[in-house]
A and B are shown apart, each in its own frame.
Chain A
Amino acid sequence: MSRRTVRVALAGLTLSAVMAACGSGSSAPTGAAVTLRLLTHDSFVLSDGLLADFTRDTGIKVELLQGGDAGTVVNQAILTKGSPQADLLFGIDSTLLTRALAADLFLPYRAPDLAHVDDSLLLDPEHRVTPVDYGDVCVNYDKQFFTDSGLAVPRNLLDLADPRYEGLLVVENPATSSPGLAFLLASIDEFGDGWETWWTDLRANDVEVVDGWEQAYNQAFSGGGASQGDRPLVVSYASSPPAEVLYADPPIDEPPTGVVESTCYRQVEGVGILAGTDHEAEAGRLIDFLLSTPVQADVPLSMFVFPARSDVALPEVFTRHAARPADVRELPAAEIDAHREEWIGRWTDLVLR
């Protein structure tokens, strides 16, 4: 091939790549087909083909916009209120619920399948947000470490401040991480006004603070299959042990990690129709779909959360390895909203400065 041919070929490639990039940009609706846009966080995922089933059954197409973590997308939605970039928002939880409701972000919709959802999960009595799943943020521990050292696994939050557990715990910064915030809320739920004293003790006990879950679990924690750190206690999820079993190659029978169940804080996650949408009726059908049995049965293995519906069977890896704490912690959304900034500010002064 002569140099000129190479050049022409390269130019052709460039052109076709640009055209391909432009071509996929034309999202003009064809005929009467409606395309719904669902704004959600980076962790949202469903098994291959599920959304296609929805399109086949209803004729409604779904386009996903993933704009960062849960807090970021809620704030995006608040910023673009009045000219929303999507028709629905999935991923709002109790920590940001009041802020979103105060901004009149959502239109009410009552899904028939809510009958199968436990009342304790209902986020909003006016149904502006429909619960889809929930997850528990809990302290996880490295089984190997506690077997080898002979130290007892901590039983509760109070134990973590005990000098026997000095230098063993890593937590996420509540200012930058959603599990970090959940853990701070768990301590406020447990100790009330005494939470500041407990954190002061925890700091004296050499707690490590990192910015996000990835650093805490993969870099500082010692227990996960790919963990690189030396701390045997970490703030993670009740569903982290089954994930360790599922994503191990070669396969393992027992997770290398366990959960301290009394530390769990519950985060309920919901979906709402964004005010300003042109497709309110179709958006309601998508909510029905998210609460339908196939999707509810899919969320444990696709997103590592528990389905909101109580009549859906859990996969075996969940029933065997996920923690199902009998009693979980939760704070009212309005209380969180009223104090979030103040608590985070106090925490920063106590623990980081």
Chain B
Amino acid sequence: MPRRWAIGLLAPPVAFLLAFFVWPVANIVGEGLRGDHGWDLSGVGAVLGDPHLRQVAWFTLWQAAASTALTIVVALPATQVLARIEFPGRRVIQALVVVPFVLPTVVVGAAFLTWVGPRSPIGLNLEGSVWAILAAHAFFNFAVVVRMVGGVWEALDPHTLEAARTLGASRTQAFRTVTLPALRPAVAAAAAITFLFTFTSFGVVRILGGPGRSTIEVEIYRQTADLLDLPIASVLALLQLGAVSAMLVVQDRLERRRPVTAVAMRPADRRPATGPAAWLWVAGNLAGMAVFLGAPLVTLVERSFRTPDGHGLAAWRGLAEVGADSRLFVSPLEAVGNSLRFAVAATVMAVALGGLAAAVLARRGGRAARFLDAVLVLPLGTSAVTVGFGFLIALDRPVDLRASPLLVPVAQAVVALPFVVRTMTPVLRAIDPRLHEAAATLGASPARAWRAVDLPLVRRAVLVAAGFAFAISLGEFGATTVIARADAPTVPIVIVRLLGRPGALNVAQAFALSTVLMLLTATAVLLVDRWRPPEGRRGSWM
């Protein structure tokens, strides 16, 4: 790709990030590091010298690493089943898997505590234990692995694997030498995103970890929102950014040492399970998912029907009402409308901007491209409260955007952008350039070659990325809560507000609304997955 093109394509996403990420964050961090008389770096010593904060930093790091490892181990077998094997109901399960990802942490925390809290029906009390945190992180990020790795896995050419088996490789050998190298970039990308998410974990740690445990993110929130100690908050924010950047650099180094495996991408290739062993494998995985992902979700639905003396529809009846009795300025159903509007706008922005960036990053491998690749992921490693408070002090000029409802989808797009880039780049990179050359040799114009070779694969990448972006916007809470206007709250915000009030009906309504959010997510993902291109190789797509 010519350099001039690359710069032109990159201009919109870079400008967007500069305006809505770099500038606000630089403003708030700068505010903290600037004393009354020039730069004041006393916060650095205060943070590094505080044994409590050192302990927090260490805990943040190791729990993120452990959570990431656990997520990959738990989710990879399920990814194989969903990506490679065709069975009745696969599509629905593939959509349902994304549901945990968008639920507000406070709701999931409540659902987890129902099973592994002080009144656990299975006699397992994990409250305050680190295992509850790790399990909740794996629950949340399961979908990241299933979708990011699955997107590549389902398209792997089965012939290579069959060739290896024909040549005498055992099943394990073939997996290790053929499948794994091909999946490695996608696994690495999913691991990086999971690590970033868990490194900046907030709600899960606060609810399940008890008050004795804290991450850097929790400390940044406390120092910014509760104590307004910006010098300390700024140093912590820089520490967090530094750690995240270091992780990205290490990952980049590791990746570059590995030889690049050329993977021929094809349309999804799923085969029905054959033989009892294969069926057992599918059934075992589905049962595992039902327990691990299903049980907490079922609890949410059940609690929406719970009344003080049994079960009933009281909470559901109240959903459409507004007024003194609903304790909110809009009816919960209006919040659904807000969430959908914001999510569509955020998805369009994130996919358009992220797509441009991915198109360039997939074709250019220089130092600048790798730097940009890392910068694009940084929003995920930045505290939501840093971004939210940054918006408040930076976006009042030249036009005061702070009360504009457009700011909500913009903030959500900032969070979704890294996903879009990380999901699309490996797929675009995997397109075999020899196919282009072949097309050109056969006399196709570059445009025609792109249409015939790239477009079908690009479509799939766009769909996966759009599904993610949509889900992220539906579930985003941290930045939204700082900037959402009272007359346009999103569903997660209404859920959290309902849970903040006494009375059985409020709690049941929060769970009813969580159920609505679940259904909404599953439906959206299902629709996106089904929305296949009308022309082209249809038979093999469906």
A interface residues (Cβ-Cβ under 8 A, vs B)? 2-4, 6-7, 10, 13-14, 17-18, 20-22, 24-25, 27, 37, 40, 42-45, 47-48, 63-69, 71-72, 75-76, 78-80, 83, 85-86, 99, 173, 175-176, 209-215, 217-220, 224-226, 228-230, 236-237, 240, 243-244, 246-250, 252, 298, 301-302, 304, 341, 352-353
Contact = CB atoms under 8 A, between A and B. Distances in A.
Contact of B119 (A217, A229, A249): A229
A63 B487 contact: yes
B389 A79 contact: yes
B227 interface: yes
22 contacts: A13-B344, A22-B345, A25-B406, A42-B496, A43-B497, A48-B322, A66-B484, A68-B482, A69-B225, A72-B226, A85-B402, A209-B211, A210-B211, A225-B308, A225-B504, A228-B110, A228-B119, A243-B502, A244-B504, A248-B504, A249-B312, A250-B309
A228 to B, nearest CB: 6
Contacts of A3: 534
B486 A213 contact: no
A2 to B, nearest CB: 8
A73 to B, nearest CB: 9
Contacts of A6: 531
A247 B225 contact: no
Given A63-B487, A64-B486, A352-B212, A42 B497 contact: yes
A85 B392 contact: yes
Interface in B477-501: 481-489, 493, 496-497, 499-501
B308 A252 contact: yes
Given A176-B222, A214-B500, A246-B503, A230 B485 contact: no
B307 to A, nearest CB: 6
A316 to B, nearest CB: 15
A221 to B, nearest CB: 10
Contact of B345 (A18, A65, A213): A18
A243 B484 CA distance: 27
Contacts of B113: 219, 228
A302 B324 contact: yes
Contacts of A236: 502
B169 to A, nearest CB: 42
B348 A14 contact: yes
Contacts of A10: 531
Nearest to A47: B324
B43 interface: no
A65 B485 contact: yes
A47 B502 contact: no
B207 A48 contact: no
B499 A72 contact: no
Contact of A17 (B303, B312, B324, B341): B341
A78 B341 CA distance: 32
Contacts of A252: 308
Contacts of B531: 6-7, 10
Contacts of B324: 47-48, 298, 301-302
Interface residues of B, number: 77
Nearest to B203: A211
Enumerate the 5 nearest inter-chain pairs by beta-carbon distance, A residue then B residue, closest first. Answer: A247-B503, A225-B504, A64-B486, A226-B507, A249-B314
Contacts of A218: 110, 499, 507
B227 A63 contact: no
B354 interface: no
A248 B505 contact: yes
Given A27-B404, A47-B323, A83-B393, 5 more contacts: A69-B225, A75-B225, A220-B118, A248-B503, A248-B505
B504 to A, nearest CB: 3
B101 interface: no
B502 A230 contact: no
B500 A43 contact: yes
Contact of A250 (B230, B307, B496): B307
A66 B486 contact: yes
Interface of B: 31, 106, 109-110, 113-114, 117-119, 206-207, 210-212, 222, 224-228, 230, 303, 306-309, 312, 314-315, 322-324, 327-329, 340-342, 344-345, 348, 389, 392-393, 396-397, 400, 402-406, 409, 481-489, 493, 496-497, 499-508, 531, 534
Given A173-B211, A211-B207, A228-B119, A25 B396 contact: no
Contacts of B497: 42-43
B506 A215 contact: no
A247 B486 contact: no
Given A247-B503, A248-B505, A18 B307 contact: no
B396 A80 contact: yes
A80 B484 contact: no
Given A17-B341, A175-B226, A247 B348 contact: no
Contacts of B484: 66
Contacts of A37: 403
Given A210-B210, A219-B117, A246-B503, A24 B405 contact: yes
Contacts of A353: 212
B431 to A, nearest CB: 23
Given A63-B487, A64-B487, A225-B503, A45 B327 contact: yes
A214 B402 contact: no
Nearest to A303: B327
Given A76-B392, A249-B312, A249-B505, A302 B482 contact: no
A63 B403 contact: yes
A348 to B, nearest CB: 8
Contacts of A249: 307, 312, 314-315, 504-505
Contacts of A220: 118
B384 to A, nearest CB: 11
A122 B405 CA distance: 36
B306 A226 contact: yes
* Of listed A7, A69, A176, A246, residue having the most chain B CB within 10 A: A176
B358 to A, nearest CB: 20
Contacts of A66: 484-486, 489
A85 B500 CA distance: 25
A249 to B, nearest CB: 4
Contacts of A209: 210-211
A59 B118 CA distance: 54
A49 to B, nearest CB: 8
Contact of B500 (A21, A48, A78, A213): A213
A247 B506 contact: yes
Contact of B406 (A21, A99, A211, A215): A21
Nearest to A229: B118
Nearest to A245: B503
A302 B118 CA distance: 33
Contact of A21 (B114, B226, B345): B345
Contacts of B327: 45, 302
Contacts of A43: 497, 500-501
A276 B318 CA distance: 41
A174 to B, nearest CB: 10
A159 to B, nearest CB: 23
Nearest to B395: A85
Contacts of B341: 17, 20-21
A217 B504 CA distance: 11
Nearest to B31: A79
